[in-house]
Amino acid sequence: MASELSSQVLKGDHRAVAKAISIVEAGGEPSRKLIQELYPHTGKAFTIGVTGPTGTGKSTLVDKMVGEYRERGCSVGVLAIDPSSAFTGGALLGDRVRMMDHSLEKKVYIRSMASRGDLGGLARAARNTMRVLDAAGMDVVIVETVGAGQTEVQIASTVDATIVVLMPQLGDEVQAFKAGFAEIGDLFVINKSDIVNPSKTIYNIASGLQERDGWRPPVLKTVAVKGTGVPAVVDAIEKFQKHLDTGSLREKRLSKRIRSELVDAAFSDFYHETVTRLGDQKEFDSLVGRVVKRELDPETAASRLVGIISKIGEKA
Amino acid sequence: MASELSSQVLKGDHRAVAKAISIVEAGGEPSRKLIQELYPHTGKAFTIGVTGPTGTGKSTLVDKMVGEYRERGCSVGVLAIDPSSAFTGGALLGDRVRMMDHSLEKKVYIRSMASRGDLGGLARAARNTMRVLDAAGMDVVIVETVGAGQTEVQIASTVDATIVVLMPQLGDEVQAFKAGFAEIGDLFVINKSDIVNPSKTIYNIASGLQERDGWRPPVLKTVAVKGTGVPAVVDAIEKFQKHLDTGSLREKRLSKRIRSELVDAAFSDFYHETVTRLGDQKEFDSLVGRVVKRELDPETAASRLVGIISKIGEKA
């Protein structure tokens, strides 16, 4: 039943994995079919999200984490979500080149994905890319994101564990990040801790964190560029991993993630299927015409359009 | 049939206008009812969007435009969309204070609105605020936005004319802005043209612009803080306004805007109505459970959920 491509992915073939990821990135029917074939073979990989402001050294940390996991005998897949922004796109590519040393190894797979306008589409592509890497036999899959808060939060809702990377003395930025990031981090890393004493930053972060599901997120310090503190980060992740496995917490979290994934995917599919057909609906044209002529107000017209949408959706 | 509040808004009462805007900003049923009452009385105001990067002096330009319109005997409503970002929020408020000189006048109404996470909700609130100001008898309604591209593009799709404000020697930023902003600007203003010679910037911008619907967007230079060039900007807007009125172009554009507004509003309403009811669906719980157990893949589950969604929507 499985296609040739799926079989090759399951064997961990790098070229097949590359092709499969391109397919899930493009989405649509081919992606759907592929995921249908691969999904039963997933669930072995532990997925980790690494996020935080630009300049905190996330890529270097991920690079060193890959090395540490390799030393522990684990295979690692990395998905780096690059912001499409013209302002920061360049800097990121430089970091990527360094990481490529690892990608020559068979047990490491590294892939970048551009973050475009469509946030929902990106989250879906990222989830399915993690599934491809999982099916290909990776023990650990790391997803790295940069920048705008919304992407981070959405990606965090797709992984088993989220690491938030900060650095000492970010000042106002720390405040801003704490607001949105305190809730998504299972582990906080203060990188570049050799620049200034990180104690104050660690205190500020730690005091804003709360225990959740019996886990109090630790705040660790690293100097990723020298590898300092990286084994402790991997230790902490493994400890969290064990914590998740107790009392079916991992399944509880997975269930919550699947719930929101299905809602997002279904509404997105519903929207795309329905909006295309809306173009042929004379009823819709007539609504628009009446609003333009001010015979009908836009709120009433929108309510009626909800009815039209439901009817089209029902027929689909 | 009209409520007391609507009657007061139609008379141009400032307190009623303030109350009405708070209602449409909050959204939901009260907003719906109010817009139903006010909408037949709209369509007289000419709506202008003013956008561009931070620091180009948009608020000052808007401030001077208000003055110029007042001299020409027009009443003016201003809606300033403040980014919620902690990084830039402060700067904007300073500019706002200056503008308040105008707000003591009866013929001027100025309002700020915070830009929150929900982009669709913001666009809807902005559209309906413009309708309140239009119904209140404002001849001109100006909407000012700052920052992230997506908001700008969405707000631009709600006004009759969009002004993009830049400044000389923005360098890379100009390039980035040209990419997204060339298509939305009906008029380009190079403000702060006394700092450096703006000729090169004007040339760069103008050479990237194309004629659209028989209109070639002009590129004007201003020194808004001194008022220099502002009457020419208002002249250009009035010229564009005349251009829109020829050959039913304004109606054509309005029709396109109403189309996308109705689609956005209807899908958003459909989503909110349906997602709430989804919580009670045992069918949905069972889908989630099977995906968690890997008996069913998420793509197939999402397809089935589309069916459930359509059924719920149909019953609504």
pLDDT value at residue A40: 94
**Which SS3 state, helix, strand or coil, does residue B79 take?**
strand
Is residue A246 within 8 Å of residue A216, measured between CB atoms?
no
- Which residues of chain A have a CB within 8 Å of the CB of B313? 306, 309-310, 313-314
Between residues A280 and B77, which one has the greater pLDDT?
B77
Q: What is the DSSP letter of B137?
A: T
Q: Do B263 and A305 touch (CB under 8 A)?
A: yes
Model pLDDT for residues B83-111, shown as the tens digit of each residue = 543 333 333 444 444 455 555 567 888 88
**All domains in chain A, ordered by first residue:** 43-247 (3.40.50.300), 259-315 (no CATH)
Q: Do B262 and A284 touch (CB under 8 A)?
A: yes
Q: Do A314 and B309 touch (CB under 8 A)?
A: no
Q: Do B269 and A316 touch (CB under 8 A)?
A: no
- Tell me the nearest-neighbour CA distance from A306 into chain B, angstroms: 5
- Which residues of chain B have a CB within 8 Å of the CB of A311? 314
- Which residues of chain A have a CB within 8 Å of the CB of B300? 36
Judge whether residue A244 has pLDDT over 90.
yes
Which range, of A119-128, A261-270, B138-147, averages the lowest pLDDT? A119-128
**Distant-in-sequence, close-in-space partners of B222: CB < 8 Å, separation ≥ 6:** B61, B189, B190, B191, B193, B228, B229, B230, B232, B233
Judge whether residue B256 has pLDDT over 60.
yes
pLDDT value at residue A97: 45
Q: Do A302 and B269 touch (CB under 8 A)?
A: yes
Neighbouring C-beta atoms of residue B1, cutoff 10 Å: 5
Q: What is the mean pLDDT of residues B197-225?
A: 88
Torsion A295-A297-A302-A307 (CA) sign = negative
Q: Mean pLDDT for chain A?
A: 84
Instruction: Tell me the pLDDT band of A280, cut-offs 50, 70 and 90.
Output: confident
Highest mean pLDDT: which range of A49-53, A145-149, B159-163: B159-163
pLDDT value at residue A56: 85
Pick A251's closest partner by Cβ from B262, B292, B300: B292
Q: Do A265 and B314 touch (CB under 8 A)?
A: no
pTM of the shown model? 0.76
Residue of B nearest to A286 (CA): B259
- How far, in Å, CA of A174 to CA of B35, rounded? 41
Residue of A nearest to B264 (CA): A302
pLDDT value at residue A148: 46
Instruction: Tell me the pLDDT band of B149, cut-offs 50, 70 and 90.
Output: low
Residue of B nearest to A259 (CA): B288
pLDDT value at residue A89: 35
Interface test with B, best of A299, A300, A312 (most B CBs within 10 A): A299
Judge whether residue A41 has pLDDT over 70.
yes
Q: What is the mean pLDDT of residues A139-148?
A: 82
Calculate the alpha carbon distances from B289 to A252, B159, B165, B305 in Å. 10, 47, 53, 13
Model pLDDT for residues A144-178, shown as the tens digit of each residue = 986 545 666 677 778 999 999 988 876 555 555 55
Q: Mean pLDDT for chain B?
A: 84
- Which residues of chain B have a CB within 8 Å of the CB of A294? 39-40, 42-43
Interface test with A, best of B278, B283, B292 (most A CBs within 10 A): B292
Assign 3-class secondary structure to A55-112. CCCHHHHHHHHHHHHHHCCCCEEEEEEEECCCCCHHHHHHHHHHHHHHHCCCCEEEEE
Between residues B12 and B84, which one has the greater pLDDT?
B12
- Which residues of chain B have a CB within 8 Å of the CB of A274? 267
Judge whether residue A75 has pLDDT over 90.
yes
Q: Do A261 and B314 touch (CB under 8 A)?
A: no
Pick A40's closest partner by Cβ from B294, B303, B310: B294
Kindly state the percentage of chain B with pLDDT values over 70: 83
Which range, of A63-67, B144-148, B224-228, B274-278, averages the lowest pLDDT? B144-148
Which range, of A25-39, B82-96, B156-170, averages the lowest pLDDT? B82-96
pLDDT value at residue A184: 84
Q: Do B298 and A265 touch (CB under 8 A)?
A: yes
Between residues A313 and A107, which one has the greater pLDDT?
A107
pLDDT value at residue B177: 57
- Tell me the nearest-neighbour CA distance from A57 into chain B, angstroms: 21
- Tell me the nearest-neighbour CA distance from A297 into chain B, angstroms: 6
- Tell me the nearest-neighbour CA distance from B294 into chain A, angstroms: 6
Q: Do B273 and A313 touch (CB under 8 A)?
A: no
Judge whether residue A6 has pLDDT over 80.
yes
Closest CA to A66 of A108, A17, A100, A113: A108
- How far, in Å, CA of A301 to CA of A286, rounded? 10
- Tokens encoding B147: 């920052």
pLDDT value at residue A91: 36
pLDDT value at residue A87: 33
Q: Do A298 and B259 touch (CB under 8 A)?
A: no
Model pLDDT for residues A87-122, shown as the tens digit of each residue = 333 334 444 444 555 555 678 888 888 765 566 678
Model pLDDT for residues B213-243, shown as the tens digit of each residue = 899 999 999 999 999 999 999 999 999 999 9
pLDDT value at residue B115: 64
Instruction: Tell me the pLDDT band of B118, cut-offs 50, 70 and 90.
Output: low
